[in-house]
Amino acid sequence: MSRVKFSMLLMHFTCVWIDIYFNLLAIPYVMHAAASGYTLGLLALFRVPTPIIYYFAVVSLFLLGPAIILFFEDRYHRLARLDSETKSRHMKRLIYFGFNYFVSFISILPSFFNIPNAAEAKVHLLQEFPCIPSVIVEKSGFFTLAYDNTIIVSCLLGYMTFATTQALFFIYRTTIYLSRIKTVSKQTIRLQRQYFKNLVIQTTVPILIVATPTTYLNVSAALDYLDMGMNNVAILWLTTHGIFSTVTMLMVHKPYRDASLGFLVEAC
Can you give the pLDDT at residue 94?
93
Model confidence at 109: pLDDT above 90? yes
- In the chain, pLDDT over 90 holds for what percent of residues? 25
What residues are paired with 143 via a beta bridge?
Answer: 37
Region 250-260 average pLDDT: 75
101: confidence class by pLDDT, cuts 50, 70, 90: very high
Long-range contacts, stretch 204-210, CB < 8 angstroms, 24+ apart: 205/244, 205/245, 205/248, 206/15, 206/64, 206/68, 206/241, 206/244, 206/245, 206/248, 207/68, 209/237, 209/238, 209/240, 209/241, 209/244, 209/245, 210/61, 210/64, 210/238, 210/241
Rg (CA), the chain: 21
Region 25-43 average pLDDT: 89
Can you give the pLDDT at residue 41?
92
pLDDT digits (tens, 9 = 90+) for 47-61: 999 999 999 999 998
Q: Please give the mean pLDDT across all residues of the chain.
A: 85
As a dihedral over the C-alpha atoms of residue 189, residue 194, residue 198, residue 199, rounded to 10 degrees, the angle is 10
Angle (CA) 23 47 116, round 5° = 95
Q: Which of 147, 152, 151, 153 is nearest to 120 (CA)?
A: 147
Neighbours of 87 (CB within 10 A): 8
Query: What distance in Å separates the CA atoms of residue 172 and residue 177, rounded to the nearest whole number?
Result: 9
Q: Which of 125, 126, 127, 128 is nearest to 116 (CA)?
A: 125
In terms of pLDDT, which residue wins out, 151 or 78? 151
Query: What distance in Å separates the CA atoms of residue 76 and residue 69, rounded to the nearest whole number?
Result: 11
What residues are paired with 37 via a beta bridge?
Answer: 30, 143
Can you give the pLDDT at residue 259?
76
- pTM for the predicted model, two decimal places: 0.83
> How many alpha carbons fall within 13 Å on the CB side of residue 100?
24
